[in-house]
Amino acid sequence: MHPRKPVIANYKIFVFVGFICTALITSLFVYRTTHHDNMTLVNDENSVVMPVGRDLKSVDLVTTDGDAFTERNLFTHWTLMFFGFTHCNNVCPVTLEMMNKAYPTLHAAMPTLQVVFVSLDPVRDTKVKLSQYTQSFNTNFVGVSGKIESIRKLQSQLGIYSAIDSNTQDSDNYQLQHTSSIMLINPQGKWVAMFKYGLTPKAFEHSVIQAVKAVTKA
């Protein structure tokens, strides 16, 4: 049996769950922004800042150095978290390069900031490959991965969708369709905001700093 088949099947099973989670969360955000302005902390079309942060629990991943990465690693830091994979043709490199350009400004504003890249493709993204990929954008960025089940648990908490592109599923260079938003987690380990894909470094810097200010004051 081809070693990739069980993984592909598992991803297909997860398609509907991920899609439903993402759709529900997006619908809730749109409803709040449209109908309940007092529930939106920042009036910014590039981001959604939640009035109440959501706890992240049972995070059980591993860094490229082989160290455990759990919910404890989210405490005492502002964390920007992005999900992707090293074979990504477009979204991931574009986003990571944008975050690299924005990093000096954001780090100056938040000295404890950590940027975490979570691999959605643990079969191909070995520790060495993930480390080389993440470090190629910024040596301060942290690459993490783990067992499929552990990655999915974190995905489900953040509404992250991922599935193998049906047009490439029979290729060794298969692509993943996945949520391209960047998540912001506060120093208490709560998910507090998300930022859309495609922002310029300056726009991203502004949105993140405004979100942090709003969350801190709330």
**Any idea which residue has 């940027």 for tokens?**
115
pTM of the entire structure? Answer: 0.82
Residue 114: phi, psi to the nearest 5? -125, 140
Ramachandran quadrant class, 189 (left: phi over 0; alpha: psi -120 to 50; beta: rest) = left
pLDDT tens track for 41-96: 666 889 999 989 999 998 999 999 999 999 999 999 999 999 999 999 999 999 99
pLDDT tens track for 95-109: 999 999 999 999 999
Query: Token pair of 90, please?
Result: 């477009």
What local confidence, expressed as pLDDT, does residue 73 receive?
A: 97
pLDDT tens track for 171-195: 677 999 999 999 999 999 999 999 9
Residue 123: phi, psi to the nearest 5? -65, -45
**What does DSSP assign to residue 73?**
G
Residues 6+ apart with CB under 8 A from 128: 64
How far apart, in whole angstroms, are the C-alpha atoms of residue 169 and residue 88? 14
SS3 188: strand
How far apart, in whole angstroms, are the C-alpha atoms of residue 50 and residue 214? 10
Q: To 10 degrees, what angle do helices 91-109 and 201-217 make?
A: 50
How are the residues of the chain apportioned to helix, strand and coil, as percentages rounded to the nearest 5? 45, 25, 35
List, in sequence order, every residue forming a beta bridge with 119; answer none if it has no partner. 84
> Bigger pLDDT: 183 or 218?
183
Q: Which of 156, 168, 9, 20 is nearest to 88 (CA)?
A: 168
Is beta strand 162-164 parallel, antiparallel or unpaired with respect to 142-145? unpaired
Are the beta carbons of 210 and 44 closer than 8 angstroms?
yes
